[in-house]
Structure 1
Amino acid sequence: MNLFLETFLFLGTLVYSYVEAFVKLFIPAKRKSVSGELVLITGAGHGVGRATALEFAKRQSRLVLWDISKHGVEETAAECKSLGATAEAFVVDCSKREEIYSAAEKVKKEIGDVTILVNNAGVITAADLLSTQDHQIERMFEVNILAHMWTTRAFLPAMMNNNYGHIVTVASAAGHFVTSFMVAYCSSKFAAVGFHKALTEELSTLGKDGIKTTCLCPVFINTGFVKNPSTRVFPERALNVLKKMTDVKFDAVVGQRSTQ
């Protein structure tokens, strides 16, 4: 896609989003009550996962929190409990299918059927394609998309039996717009967006209208995993201005870590 078309597409999406948000200021959508829902959030140890958990806690959901970091997930659970919510913390490496399935069985047996699944865990390595190591590429796909498959396969059957539930896919703007030095990451996030769209279509085809789906595509968030990213639409100079306006912080990537 040439620069003109890419810019036009981006601006069209941006304008539509702002118009939609403006309309909802005056005609707000009816909010769904999540009180009492059993919500499982992957990558809940920090960043977007932790913020999401706290928002559900404020609304009195029952929480199941997964993260590879024991300290991080237990800290999130403690904060949720301080808000009056119940929260159970599990140390789970979402790059490992069998670990996901094992933890899922434990959740179903000891806590109950998950009604809202938030697939949030993600990892990133920022480097040019030829400098990105094979195991780094594999891990990005294992966590950023394959884990979505495994968690959904684990918890979807109960949702389908009850025709009730909600599956949230946390992807990224990188699932719509590409950037240099993130070839593998962008590819995994495009796959996550595709997963959401295909799952939504399949549930509709199967008549499971009680199971809702949502896809989130954040842009720049202070989770400390990318330093000065740029694209043809957003060159580095423009991003520097954006960072000053929004007080967003970007730090260098060190190895692989949970992002969203």
Structure 2
Amino acid sequence: MVTNDFLGISKMNFLLETLQVIVMSIYYNMEAFVRLFIPPKNKNVTGEIVLITGAGSGIGRLMAEKFAPLGVSLVLWDINQEGVKETSRLVKEKGVTKVHYYLCDCSDKAEVYRVADQVKREVGDVSILINNAGIVTGRKFMDAPDSLIEKTFEVNTMAHFWTYKAFLPAMAANNHGHLVSIASSAGLIGVNGLADYCASKFAAIGFAESVALELLATGKDGVKTTIVCPYFINTGMFDGCNTKWPLLLPILDPDYVANKIIEAILTDQVYLLLPKTMYLIMGLKNSLRWKQAALLGKYLGAFENPEHCETTSLKLH
């Protein structure tokens, strides 16, 4: 009797939760459709403390410049002193009144924690964390020294663990904040000749997604997350790289990418894939058999020889 009652309750719960999923899925699809015509309003970030890693050049510098007139306090991290100092000067010209820059090797856990503590003392609790620092070796797997493979993971993946550990507790305590992971389309689809880079970006995406789910599961829905997956960006990181089909997968303009990232943060967009054709490509990849997916990869240029890219030495974002 007890067993039958238990089974009956279990079936009822299954039906109710299934119905809830169906109804909410329809609602979310309708919401997404409406947003095609009525974009969400930008949130007010005045007074927020924004930390950007890899802020000394490239996308990191551009994001800092675009945040400058929004009334935030900027905290800039980079391993290059001259680069981060120059970014600090540029953002002041753009209107920011509070900017702090620090030398920090994000691949060094102890240094990340040390500089993070310094930021908390001198500036306050970071409320928008943008993990942007990244490197690429540009070596085929069997040609890449172990030390460079380890460095790729230390910067592109493990650094995210340490910055989250350092700044997420305050966000969770306040149920307010934003975690941003600048990953890559190479973290969604494997690319010939970029095994270590792809693996590190796959890991970064998986980490960011898992933490986002942890936040939802613990009721910390005030801490937002954004995962950015762009195709090759013309920042110097992939100098010389070409695209097989420029209309389908163009080499991205850095200013365009920075604008889209800021827009995604201000509208609490969870995933940002660039260009938009990446959404279609990902849908195809996840629905095709392996041979078909490999054929698609060949068509898109994933099998092209990457050696024409000038990434044979370690390069940063």
Coarse TM-score class (shorter-chain normalised): 0.7 to 0.9
Larger CA Rg, structure 1 vs 2: 2
Residue 225 of structure 1 and its aligned partner are, at CA, apart by 2.0
Q: Once the two structures are aligned, what percentage of the paired residues are identical?
A: 47
Query: Does structure 1 conserve the Cα–Cα contact (< 8 Å) formed by 2:187 and 2:198?
Result: yes
- 2:44 matched residue in structure 1: 33
- 2:105 matched residue in structure 1: 93
Residue 255 of structure 1 and its aligned partner are, at CA, apart by 2.0
3-state SS of the aligned residue for 2:245?
helix
> 1:1-260, aligned counterparts within 5 Å?
24=35, 26-85=37-96, 86-227=98-239, 229=241, 237-239=244-246, 252-259=310-317
Q: CA RMSD in A?
A: 2.4
Deviations 1:15-63 (A, max 9, x none): xxxxx99975631112111111100000001111111111111212110
Query: Does structure 2 conserve the Cα–Cα contact (< 8 Å) formed by 1:228 and 1:239?
Result: no
Residue 242 of structure 1 and its aligned partner are, at CA, apart by 5.5
Distance 1:251 1:237 in 2: 13
Residue 241 to residue 171, structure 1, CA distance change in 2 (3 Å): closer
Normalization by structure 2: what TM-score?
0.69
Residue 24 to residue 186, structure 1, CA distance change in 2 (3 Å): same
> After TM superposition, where is structure 1 displaced by more than 4 Å over at least 4 residues in a row?
20-25, 227-230, 239-243, 245-248
3-state SS of the aligned residue for 1:154?
helix
Query: Does structure 2 conserve the Cα–Cα contact (< 8 Å) formed by 1:119 and 1:170?
Result: yes
Distance 1:58 1:222 in 2: 25
Distance 1:155 1:106 in 2: 12
Deviations 1:192-216 (A, max 9, x none): 1101110000011111111111101
**Mind listing any 5+ residue stretches in structure 2 that lack a counterpart?**
1-30, 255-307
Residue 238 of structure 1 and its aligned partner are, at CA, apart by 2.5
Between structures 1 and 2, the one with greater helix share = 2
- Aligned residue-pair number: 233
Structure 1 counterpart of 2:77, one-letter code: W
Query: Does structure 2 conserve the Cα–Cα contact (< 8 Å) formed by 1:45 and 1:74?
Result: yes
Residue 48 to residue 24, structure 1, CA distance change in 2 (3 Å): farther
Distance 1:58 1:204 in 2: 31
Residue 253 to residue 246, structure 1, CA distance change in 2 (3 Å): closer
Structure 1 counterpart of 2:224, one-letter code: K
Normalization by structure 1: what TM-score?
0.83
Structure 2 counterpart of 1:97, one-letter code: K
Residue 237 of structure 1 and its aligned partner are, at CA, apart by 3.4
